[in-house]
Each structure stands twice: as C-alpha cells, then as structure tokens.
Structure 1
Amino acid sequence: MTDTTVTRWVANDRSTTWSSPDSDDAALSFHRGLEGYEPTALIALPELARELGVAAVFAKDESTRLGLPAFKALGASWAVHRALEAHQAGTDAEVVTATDGNHGRAVARFARKAGHPARIFVPAGGIHPSAVAAIRGEDAEVVEVDAGYDQTVAAAADYAAGSAGVLVQDTAWDGYEEVPGWIVDGYSTLFREIDSQLREAGRASPDLICVPTGVGSLLQAALAHYRRAEADSDQGGEGSGTAVVSVEPDSAACMGPSLAEGRPVSVATGQTIMSGLNCGSPSSLAWPLISNGLDAAVTVSETAAIEAAHRLADLGIAAGPCGAASLAGVRESLTGDDRVSRRRHLGVDSDSVIVLTITEGAEANPVPEA
C-alpha cells in the first residue's frame, strides 16, 4: 500500500502506434435481446461547449440503463449470463460480488432474473444507505464488512470460494481475470452506441472522452474501443484518435500514481461522495491498456463533483456524483492550471468534440447541496 501525495494531473506519453485487439459484437447482440434494451441518450450540451471553448460537448446519460440508474447493468448482465453458463450452475447456486456502488445492485438484479440468489458484500458505511436499500430491494442478501473496498472484495472472494458460489467481480487479480473480462466486454456496448449516435449527429468519434474511474473496468472498455487498429484507421490513420482521460476522487486516486511509477500502485482511500470510485487499486486486467493507451489521469475534489452535478442538473441531466465527475475532470483538464499544455497534450482545440460519460444518475447516489 502506497501513501501518495495527490497530484491533480498526470500525463501519460503513450505510444501512438500501440493498438488493442479488435473485439466482436457478442455483448452488443446479447444486450439487444434483453427486455427493455435501448441505447441511452447522447445529449448535446452547447452551453458547455461554449464554456470549454470547443465545437461540441455531448453527455452519454447512463441514468436509465436497462431499468437501472447506472452503466453497471451492461457489464453485470453479460457477466452473470456468461458466468452461470460457464459454471453450469444449478438454480440454487449463489451469485456473489462486492460493491461500493451500483455494480452490486446490477449483479443482484440479473442474478434474480436468471433465477439465482445473490449475496452482495459492501464496505460498512462506505456507500449511501439508499444504495444498500436498493440492493436489498433486488432480494439479495447484503453483507456489511467493516473494512475498505479492497478488503471487502477479498471477503467476497473468500466466501465464494468456500461456498461454491459464482463470483461475479469487476476487479481482476492474478488468477481471476475471465469474469472481469466479460464485464469489460459488456461495457463495450456503451462506446459502440456513442459511435452510432455521433454518426447520426453528423460527427466523427470524439476527440476527448472523460471516464470516471474506480478499479478501471469502464476505462479498460473505453481504451479497448478507442485504441483498436480499426478505430485508428477510421479516425484518420496512425497517431490520431480519441484522447482518453481517467477521472478519480482525490481521496482515492490510484491511476496517476500508477502511471508515474510505471506499474500498478495501491493507495490508501478515504471517504468520498463518489462512492463508486472509492477504489485504491487498479484492476490487473485493465493495467496493460491503461499504461499503453491512457492519455492522462486527473483527480477532482468533492466540491468540484458537487458543482458539476448541479451544473448538469441546470442543463437537464440528473447526474450522481460519480457521473458528474466526468464534467469535473474535463473542467480540471481544460480550464485549470497549465490548461494550455494540457490541451496541447490531449489535442483539444476549438474544433474538438468532447463526450462526458455520465455513469450514474442522481437516483443511484443523491447529490448534496452545493
């Protein structure tokens, strides 16, 4: 465990020739077959474009994803399906996970739909009481662990191993990478939708996308998508493409220190209203894509996330603190100290298109008053 001084911005001088493997459409096809599936809205925000000095800003609003108020439904639905199939689990097999936010409710929802009980481990006092109530509302057993997120994940893994439960965790470690990989594959649907929606709006791929980041699974999905050789070709050839920035709370920021050290670094975490991002260790599965494909890591304060949430609410988007962190991260990157050099590093100018990934709605995690 590393105790680090928080640095708000860490640039990564990635290789512009590196690319991730192309992926198939299996997860997207699965999602399209689910009851209630439809692409979430991509909302143009011209007011923010003017404020940030760019051509366009869009918000990908995940507050209504498959009947749940967060993007986690994409990864959980696909991973629960694949894990139960792979384990040939009987109907009494318990689906197990740890969560500091919306992942647990999503796992519980799709376990229930598949006819299986669920046991969800949560850090005691680490997530909003309404989120705990929502998990219980999916008929799941909730186990509160008097420890931080990383220790809660370990407790869930130990329980699943000892009970023959089916662990569906979005954190990867050595020896546990297949299921987290399915979760990442599920998240790819979000970025495929963005591509299609931008084309319908007469735009190409975004020049910059900001991704609220916990252990890094959604970030991994973004990098897998935007660093494909096919994507690079579509966007104009070698070295071009979408700049990707991770956004973390300054009380739980492991991506910047990891980039600075050139290896995954675990950090001590504190309390944050961005509970879904309160993670101190990068996923081992995500790290190769982060180190090779991420453009920068930025951290944001509680105040910045709250202010961003209220600004989005003024524009008609009810974002929770984690979702609003995307806007807070863009503001820190493009309008804060050293903004000229940061814009240059990201390739952002007055013609740029920015996408904010609004990963959760206010229903999932209420926003305090400013």
Structure 2
Amino acid sequence: MKDLEQCRKEIDEIDQQLIRLFEQRMKVSKDVVTYKLAHDMEIFQPQREKAVIKKNADRVVDKELVEYACDFIQDVMDIGKSYQATFIPSKDSYKLAKSKIEDIKVGYAGVPGAFAHQALHEYFGDVKNVNYEHFQDVYEALKNDEIDYGIVPLENSSTGAINDNYDLVRDYDFYIVGEHSVNITQHLLGIKGTSLEEIKYVYSHPQGIQQSSKFLKQFPDIRPQSFSNTAAAAKFVSENKNKQFAAIASKIAADLYDLEVIKENIHNQETNNTRFIIFGKQLEDHEKTDRVSIVFTLQHKAGALYSILKVIKDHQINLSRIESRPLKDKHWQYYFYIDFEGSLHDDNVKLALEQLKTNCLTLRVLGNYRHA
C-alpha cells in the first residue's frame, strides 16, 4: 500500500501537468470562438461535442473509468464554453425598440367585463380596444396588424400556468413587453331573483371553475360547464334568462350583464391573483426594467438543465420562475421558460445570456420589462 504522503505528492505532480494542459486548452478554446465569430458560425455544436466525448472515451484504457472520463471531458468543455462566452460581443446584441404610447389599440380574449378587460384598463388606461373569442385570435390579430398589443393571462396564483399562452407567445415569435397582476374575486351570478337551490348548471372558464372548486363541492347537484371565459359565461346566463343557469365571474360582469350576485367570494384562496402579460412584435425597452424572460431547448441528456441553472447561480441572478412545455415533434422533450431578475442593460445579464446560449440547442429572449 502506498504511503498517503506519497499519494499526495503524485497527485500534486499530476495536477501541475493538468493545469499546464488546461491553460493550453483554454487558449485554443479562445482561438476557436474567435474563428467561429469571424465566420458567423454557431458557437455551440452538440454533434461535435458528442464526437469529442466519444473519441476520448475510446482512449481510456481502464474501462471502469469510461463513465468518469466522459464526465470529466464534459466538464472541461462546459468550462471552455463559459470562457468562450466572455469573448462574444454583448454590446448592442439586443435591439430594443421604444414602446408605442400614442393612438394604440389593444386586443384581449373575452367580452367586456372579463378579467383581461379589467387588466387592460388598469395597465393602459383609456385606449382603443377590441375583444376576441379565443387567445389565439388575439395573436392572429397582432400578426395581421389589427392591434398594436395583446394582453392575455399567463398564470394564476392558486391554479398555476395557463399553458396555451406559453405555447402561443413562443409559436408566434412575439415578445413580452409588460405584465400586470389582477386580484381575482369570483362570485356566483344568476338571473335576478334566483335562489341557490334553483341552480342546476354553472358556467365559467375552466380556471374559474377550478378556483371555486371547494364551493362547488358543497353542491354536487350543480354541474360545472366550461366556457370560453368568465364574462362570456355571465353574458350567456343573462341572455338565456334561465334560473337554472348561473355563472362564476366578477362583480363587474354582474353589473355589465344585469345579473344578481347570489354568493360572493366563492374562490378557494383569499389571495387569488392572475398575472397577465402584454405582448408585441418587438423586444422593447422600458424605464426601470427588472425582469427578463427567455425560452430555450436543451440536449436530451443528464445534467442539461443543471448546466443552465449553474450559469444563473454563478452570475448571482435570482431565478423567479421556471416552466416546461412539451416539444410537439419530440416525445418527452421540452421547451423551458425562465423568468429572472435583471435587465438587458446589465452587462452581467448579457454575459450570462451568452453563456446560456453555449449550453442550449436554441435560446430566445422573450422579454425585457418591468415586473408588476
């Protein structure tokens, strides 16, 4: 058995060789990124990375060490990519447009009295607006220049993400330019003079039904019915004038459609908020921006997401949200959405984004805006 001091001496000698080789490798890594930038090449080339790992794995004599050797080479390459990112020019990488503030038209999904309609007025004030039946209709309207901005719900504090809008904002290549949080209060609305005992069907958006699930469980004879949104459900009940029908919606909708509030505040949580995003065609600059949103894809391998989280941690950036959504053409693989604190005016954030790109198959900045 070797003496411990002898082992330490040998390791120190090996480390000296490793450090010399490490410095050589990093210098060559700098040459690589310089060449790629000069020839407008992709910095991250996953197939080349796989080939390097396999080539080195085949060189290992002790086959029990192959797995460890692969991890070692991967770590070395990850460090090299982080170093390469520091040479990628970040100045003017993101062309930030000024937001339109005059003569704007905003689209939302639902009918007057919907929570999106409320959010629109609270965020923009008195502006031209137009309502559409479905979320995707709002995106199509912006695509066709019928509106300047769209506003849609992205998540609720008690029921979570509204996945359709995560997918749509990505699919249409639009940008988040702002956000607004609305305090959601759900009420049971019906034709004037209706008693709770008369109600057989209750209409609302699936989120409204889910947010009021504890109340509805007390009345198993009332059948929940999904509707396009809460205000549209209130309008439907008003137009049908049937005391067996009720809606879960806001008091604004009750006033707007001449309905009676049969039961107030039937939502599960006392604090129930919905976060709305405002989206447009350009990545915009705003005063005091403090939130960045990105969407990215990764190699389907162990540790891929960890490499992203490590970059964020190393740059001391506070991660505020992460969501995943399935890739439509690849089973069990995902897009990832991340919100983090920061601004595209911050050099540390821009450097972090360049390093993130070297670990991603694709990465797109979705927004640079002020957190509500």
TM over 0.5: no
Larger Rg computed on CA atoms: 2
> Which fold has the larger relative contact order, with Cα–Cα distance below 8 Å and residues 6 or more apart in sequence?
1
Q: TM-score range by the shorter chain?
A: under 0.3
Structure in which a larger fraction of residues adopt strand: 2
TM-score (norm 2): 0.24
